Structure formats: structure tokens, C-alpha cells
Amino acid sequence: MTGYQESRSVRPALPAGRGDLSDAVIAALGGGRPLPVGPGTVSADPYGDDLQLALYVLYELHYQGFEGVDDEREWDPRLLEFRRSLEERFLGSLRSQVRSVSSAEEALAALLVEPVVADDEDAGVSHYLQREGSLENLREYAALRSLYHLKEADPHAWVLPRLYGRAKAAMAAVEFDEFGAGRARNLHARLYADLMEDLALDIGYGHYLDAAPAEALATVNQMSLFGLHRSLRGALVGHFAAVEVTSSPGSRRLAQALRRTGAGPAAERFYDEHVEADAVHEQIVRRDVIGGLLADEPRLEADIAFGVESTTFLEDRLGAHLLHAWRGNRSALRTPLNSVLPTP
């Protein structure tokens, strides 16, 4: 595309805070103010706006960073200690709410069967968008998902140094495809920026952070949490498997929704690409990534299952939020798109 500007070539600004925890983090990064001695996370809502935004901002120091924030803050021990307290609250809640399963295969089995949708009330987000979602619904969905898709596959790449043998080779093969198979123009993050342009959205990395509800932040924070901890490598593989297993049918519905609403060829291409690619990736991930990891480290099976189940849990929460808003003819964003100003 002529005149294309890489979405990550400009760092995003720090977002507005949403409570004591996120205010403290943003103030520490933006103005050099010290973090409070007692982080006060014990009673914080683990899925609420305040904790999820604080965690998201701290994780972003490991990705693109923020305008005006020194790169060295990535490893500031005070920030890391604060982040750890947030992680413990979030992870502890996930472990207490996600059901236990006997095996990784059992956890994946439920995802391999497409649910029978009896009526509109039973429909998931991709079903809703395919059947009746408006172009504005699709624009909101794309804006929220940009928090991940403009860095697509990056959180999963952290697991590569922590795998070996068959699992490592297979994971690297899938990641190679996600990163454009050696062609910058085919990076999935780049294809998503093209989709956003077709939908008249700002492609700036992190541009829609202030508009994103906690439910959307949690789905991205989960990947960063699993990716940044070697102890959670099994959970990250489980998350990756859940994404790949559900991606192909969901992408097919979203591609149909984009065609129905006349979103544009670049918007359609992103999901068309995932229909075919992720159908292949699913087999590789199940057979060689999970199979290889279990052969090497069978004790990680419970973690793999947890990764699958917790992904479903958080995606269901986000889906419920989106559908409740859209069925009530309301925006699902904290700030409607027409109120989000373009990047200068």
C-alpha cells in the first residue's frame, strides 16, 4: 500500500488512569513520582479497569514502551515488584475460577466441536457479527482487537527459548507464518493495520487503549503474563492452542461479516488468511507443539489445560460484554469511536 506507515514506528502516549493502581503506575512513568509502598492489590477487582490497565501499562514496557518513558524503566525493580502483586491477584483469581480438567486433550476437545446456535441469544460474537452485526459493531471489534493484533504473535514468541526439540521446531514454524514467512508485507500485524484502514480506523499502535474496557485488556494481559514467566510456559502453549483451534471457524464468520457490510478487500484478507493458515496451524500445535512438550515435560499437562480453559473464560467474558452492549444499541467501548480523536 503506497504511503503506508508502520503502526509501531511511533510510540503511544501514556493512557489516562482508571483508579488508584493505574494512576500510581502512570504517574511513576510519566512524572517520576515514586510508587506507593503498599500496592493495595489484595482487595482490588482482578478483572476491573484499574488493575487491568495498571498491568497492561507495565507489560507494554516489554513491547513498544510509551512516548517520553525511558526504555530502562522496563527493568525498574520497583515497577517489577508492583507488577508482581498485580499478577498474583489476576493469576490467583483465574486459577480459582477456571475449572480443572484431567488432560490437555480434554481441555481442547470442547473447542473442536462447533456449538449449535439455536437462536440469536445463543450466538457468540463471531456468529452475531456474521448474521446481523453492523459495520459500526465490526469497527468497534477491530479497534479492541488491535491491542493484540498490532503485535500479533509477539507474546507467544517468548516461549521459544523455553522449549526444545519437536515442540520448539513446530512452534517456530507456526510463528514464522505469523511473522509473514520472511516478508514484511505479510506480517499478520501489518495485514491487521490494512484491515483497520479499510474500516477507517487509526492504525497507531495502542491508539484505542483508552477506549478499551477491562474485559479486552484482560485477554491481552493473559498472553503477556504467560509469556513473561518461564514457569507458565505450559499455560502459554495452552493459550496458543486455544487460539489456533478456534481461529479458523471464527475467522470464516468474520470474513463473511466484512463482506456483508462492504468493509473492503484488505479487511477481508486478514480473516481469509487466518481461515486457511490457522486450520493448518491447529494440527501442528496439537500434534507437535503440545505433543512434543508433553513428551519432554509431561508434568506441564495441567498447565496446558489451564491455559486453554482460562483463555475460554476470558474470551467468554469479553464476548458477553460486547453482545450486551450491541444488543442494547450501545457502544461496547469506554469512549465511542467518533469521540476517539485521530493520532496527530
User: Which three cell numbers mark 307?
Assistant: 491455559
DSSP H stretches of helix in 32-134: 49-60, 77-97, 104-109, 125-131
Whether residue 271 contacts residue 199, with contact meaning beta carbons closer than 8 Å, is answered with no
Q: For the chain, list the domains and their CATH numbers.
A: 20-97 (no CATH), 104-339 (1.20.910.10)
Residue type, 57: V
- pLDDT tens per residue, range 264-305: 898 889 998 888 776 778 889 999 999 999 999 999 999 999
| Inter-residue long-range contacts of 322-329, CB under 8 Å, 24+ positions, other chains counted | 322/125, 322/140, 322/141, 322/144, 323/123, 323/125, 323/128, 326/128, 326/133, 326/137
pTM of the model: 0.93
- pLDDT tens per residue, range 169-204: 999 999 999 999 999 999 999 999 999 999 999 999
Q: What is the pLDDT of residue 115?
A: 59
User: Which three cell numbers mark 236?
Assistant: 502459554
User: Percent of the chain beyond pLDDT 90?
Assistant: 77
CB contact set of 138 (below 8 Å; sequence gap of 6+): 129, 199, 257, 258, 261, 263
CB contact set of 69 (below 8 Å; sequence gap of 6+): 14, 29, 30, 61
- pLDDT tens per residue, range 51-90: 999 999 999 999 999 999 999 999 999 999 999 999 999 9
Whether residue 208 contacts residue 150, with contact meaning beta carbons closer than 8 Å, is answered with no
The DSSP 8-state label assigned to residue 329 in this structure reads T
Q: Using 50, 70 and 90 to split pLDDT, how confident is the model at 34? A: confident
Q: Using 50, 70 and 90 to split pLDDT, how confident is the model at 343? A: low
